[in-house]
A and B are shown apart, each in its own frame.
Chain A
Amino acid sequence: MNIASPESPTSQALDRRGFLKLTALAGGGFALGLYLRSSPFGLAADAATAAPVRDFVPNAFIRISPDGVITLIAKNPEIGQGVKTSLPMIIAEELEAPWESIVVEQAGLDPRLGGQFAGGSTAIPVNYDQCRRLGAAARSMLVRAAAETWEVPVDECFAEAATVVHRPSGRKLTYGELVARAATLPAPDLKSVALKDPKDFKLLGKRISGVDNPKIVTGKPLFGIDQKQPGMLHAVYVRGPVFGSKVSSANLDEVKKLPGVRDAFVIEGTDDLFGLLPGVAIVAADTWSAFKAREKLQVSWAGYPVDEYSSEAYAARAAALAREAPQKEIRHSGAVDEALASSAHVVEAAYHYPYLAHATLEPQNCTALFKDGRMEIWAPTQSPAPGLDLVARVLNLPKDKITIHLTRIGGGFGRRLMNDFLVEAAAVAQRVPGKPIQVTWTREQDIRHDYYRAGGWHFLKGGVEASGRLSAWHDHFITVGYSGERAGNGADVSGDEFPSRFIPHFRLTQSLIKTNVPTGYWRAPGSCAYAWVFQSFIDELAHAAGRDPVEFRLEILGDDREVPPSAGNRGRSYHAGRMKNVVRVAAEKAGWKSQKLPRGRGQGVAFHYSHAGYVAIVADVSVAPDGTLKVEKLTAAVDVGPIINLSGAENQVQGSMVDGLSAAWFQEITFEGGRVQQSNYHDYPLLRLPDTPAMEIHFVKSDFPPTGLGEPALPPVAPAICNAIFAATGKRIRTLPIDKEDLSWS
């Protein structure tokens, strides 16, 4: 692979293999044939069903009216990742429809649309091929309709700008004019439909502004919290401060008399932390009345014995476990102990990262109406299908009696993969039949009742050979779980995480602390924590060996090749060449080592492979003698294959980098007596505009199939910054957040 150029060509053979794997991962795009119908009377999306029959509805995602309006259905929840724009762009590209002619409509939960989900940076890899085929199928039907109208061979016709052109005669018919005839044609086989050559793409790769932007900037109702239904009441739902505690008694009679309050009742809930949490509902005429009544609510909670559940106790337990034999070996290759014993340089270090909240700016909320045995829900959820299942199970409702509408979502970051707020609203609505109920959480509830990014501890040993090569790696990873038997959601590490598979002697072991804290999926789950540990420790080893941190990393990555997952692990193939390329591009663009930096200034590098994306980041920081940190610049090189929407892609990388920086710098959730100590943005801060670093983003052009960008740029940020702080000050950050450390120097 060409060393310096981001445009370096990649192996065609690897391209194809990678593509086949991604296609397999997608769960079979060709199943979409099921949704294709040749006539508008067939199965179609909600919106399509409601459409006049004179429209051309080639499948559940596309509707074209005789006056030429092209409506594309956006199936996935929009959380700010831009999916309501990017997936329709792919359809529009193959449909040969100018973007200005497109209307995008948000779908509700509808099994006819296939998976509907916002998580894991999966929308592009899972749907790219499907969306192309859907658009191409519709285009081919429109071209055929024109050819039949003119009675000319199909191959003399082509589509362009929502018009079919007869090449020899120059005759034209618009899509609108072709609707009636196209609607009578049989649908082509999606598997064999002819796709465009990517070099002819007109739309993909361009900068396209988000489809909801005009509504966002004028304050139109879009989000879950904006939903209004006739006669709607507003509710709060109060859970115990200790996770999973049940209501013993509450002063409901007193609360019911408060101004604006219509009703108050206890919901028993379920026993598990992932069901319907027990609590008290207060239903009022408006949100403020409900919030105020909440302050007068007095509940006696029957908790469980959790006095020992505190951050301090967890840290003590982790330290004790570190002195014992690990409970479990996740992966061991080579002979780590022997290799460490014979290493020229051995480094030992203990790293700790805290729990994190998601802190989406739109607090959890949901609107539900239970009427005539049917439950209708307006939900800002990232995972509507599991939400429907949860409501059916907990409230004992048949699934076909539940409807879920998808609203725009004021931030996901993994929080709304859990549907606790959704089932709460449904449970409250079930108790007040016939009245739409909007449950709104206070910010304090939102911070204190999350499914947190798990805290963790890593006790590491690494060995470098006399030649300067990394040879041995041992990690005793201490994590948390509520069952006491396995790590909680988002709290485990695959045995294939780098540098596993890339060095001869590698061992990852694990021990577990039992807690009552529900954990979940934060942005780039797992990776958002351990990329910092592993890329920081690699830096320690590079410095111990007197090596340049970039060269040391490139050497570990080795030859350009695709490294397969190891047996029994959850890894995925890792293309060393793609990673080396982004490391080199980031280093070159950031001017790595091109100047000797004075004390107090430093550069740090880190890379990470997650969600099928290859990202390397170089951070430039300055640290004043009094310890004040300023992150001057982040330079990222990103390889996720071809970019769909350049504007959205840049947004995702900028957002991921600042999110990673914000968390590493300031954020920490702590516990005392089984409850969360933080409550709002004053004690759980987010980075603000003045602290935003300059950011430079380089998308490496490659022919690999496109993959997602919601997450992979986040994990390398924290280690790049901490490595830069070390370069600036000689101080190694081994505990997050950074602002707990004294960075002063003299």
Chain B
Amino acid sequence: MKYTLSVNGQARSVEASPDTPLLWILRDHLDLVGTKYGCGIGQCGSCTIHLNGQAVRACQTPISAVGDQKIVTIEGLSEDGSHPLQKVWCELDVPQCGYCQSGQIMSAAALLAQNPNPTDADIDEAMVGNLCRCATYTRIRQGIHEATRLLAGDVSKKQLQETGS
């Protein structure tokens, strides 16, 4: 089957069987490898992307279910790594191995787009589906709070709202 997808603001055409998970469309067909394979059953969150601004697991999203929904991947979260979460992740040195971090950032970005001032309980709820085998959880939580502060005070707020929707 032939599909036309909206990926990071661009129309992309792919030929694939309808049951192909969006994860493998992104990785193998479109060479967008920032979205990671971790478990294939929606348990680890490494493949988290945005579908119309909602955080979803690309491994559980067959290409046939995407339609004209807007796909944003880690590569499209900002043009130049300037999303507050991306900046804070570097400043706080959040990653260890780094494999899960694109999924962590995409989950956190969807949270902040909907709730610019999340509590610890909000963070727990939004991030519980993202595993980090290196256990960077303390800095992930800290990073989300830090990004919130960054947002509260500066121009990045506008940018966050743009990329989050």
Contact = CB atoms under 8 A, between A and B. Distances in A.
Interface of A: 78-82, 207-210, 212-214, 216-223, 225-226, 228, 234, 259, 286-288, 291-292, 359-363, 408-413, 440, 442-443, 647-648, 651-652, 654-655, 657-659, 662, 680-682, 686-690, 692, 695
B28 interface: yes
Contact of A225 (B29, B36, B90, B133): B36
Interface string B123-165: 1100110111111111111000000000000000000000000
Interface residues of B, number: 62
Given A216-B101, A217-B101, A411-B99, A682 B36 contact: no
A686 B133 contact: yes
A411 B93 contact: no
B64 interface: no
Nearest to A441: B37
Given A217-B95, A361-B131, A689-B140, A209 B24 contact: no
Max chain B C-beta neighbours (<10 A), residue from A216, A363, A659: A216
B34 to A, nearest CB: 2
Contacts of B95: 80, 210, 212-213, 216-217
Contact of B99 (A208, A410, A659): A410
B135 to A, nearest CB: 3
A236 to B, nearest CB: 12
B28 A234 contact: yes
Interface string B94-119: 11111111100100000000000000
A288 B96 contact: no
Contact of A651 (B43, B77, B96): B96
Contacts of A682: 41, 43
A411 B133 contact: yes
B46 A361 contact: yes
Given A209-B90, A217-B89, A288 B21 contact: yes
Contacts of B123: 689
A686 B33 contact: no
A198 B96 CA distance: 27
Contacts of B78: 218
Centre residue among A288, A291, A442 by max chain B CB count within 10 A? A288
Contacts of A657: 135
B73 to A, nearest CB: 7
B41 A680 contact: yes
Would you list the 9 A-B pairs with minimal beta carbon distance, nearest first? A219-B34, A80-B97, A410-B99, A658-B135, A219-B74, A80-B96, A216-B98, A690-B124, A288-B24
Contacts of B12: none
Interface in B19-68: 19-21, 24, 27-29, 31-41, 43-44, 46
A634 to B, nearest CB: 11
Contacts of A82: 96
Given A648-B93, A689-B124, 16 more contacts: A209-B90, A217-B86, A218-B74, A218-B77, A219-B73, A221-B33, A288-B16, A292-B19, A360-B133, A443-B38, A443-B40, A647-B93, A658-B137, A689-B123, A689-B140, A692-B135
A289 to B, nearest CB: 8
A692 to B, nearest CB: 4
Nearest to B105: A217
Contacts of A651: 93, 96, 134, 136, 139
Nearest to B123: A689
A442 B23 CA distance: 14
Contacts of B20: 288
Given A209-B91, A218-B86, A79 B33 contact: no
A705 B44 CA distance: 39
A216 B85 CA distance: 12
Contacts of A212: 95, 98
Contacts of A362: 36, 38, 97, 99
B17 interface: yes
Contacts of B90: 209, 213-214, 217
Given A217-B105, A219-B33, A689 B128 contact: yes
Nearest to A658: B135
Contact of A213 (B98, B131, B140): B98
Interface string B69-94: 00001110110010001100111111
A79 B97 contact: yes
Given A219-B74, A219-B75, A361-B38, A410 B102 contact: no
Contacts of A686: 131, 133
A210 B93 contact: yes
Given A209-B91, A217-B86, A219-B102, A662 B37 contact: no
Given A443-B40, A654-B138, A692-B135, A408 B32 contact: no
A442 B43 CA distance: 14
Contacts of A681: 38-39, 41, 43-44, 131
20 contacts: A210-B98, A212-B95, A217-B74, A219-B73, A219-B102, A225-B36, A259-B17, A288-B24, A361-B133, A410-B99, A443-B40, A647-B93, A655-B96, A655-B136, A681-B41, A686-B133, A689-B130, A690-B127, A692-B135, A692-B141
Contacts of B93: 207-210, 213, 647-648, 651
B131 A286 contact: no
A222 B98 contact: yes
A220 B34 contact: yes
Contacts of B28: 234, 286-288
Nearest to A220: B34
A226 B128 CA distance: 25
B102 A695 contact: no
A292 B90 CA distance: 38
B81 to A, nearest CB: 5
B99 A219 contact: no
Nearest to A687: B135
Contacts of A259: 17
Contacts of A219: 32-35, 73-75, 102
Contacts of A234: 28
Contacts of B44: 361, 681
Given A218-B75, A228-B31, A655 B134 contact: yes
Contacts of A80: 95-98, 134
A359 B39 CA distance: 10
Contacts of A690: 124, 127-128
A688 B136 contact: no
Contacts of A220: 34
Contacts of B36: 223, 225, 361-362, 410
A409 B95 CA distance: 12
B25 to A, nearest CB: 8
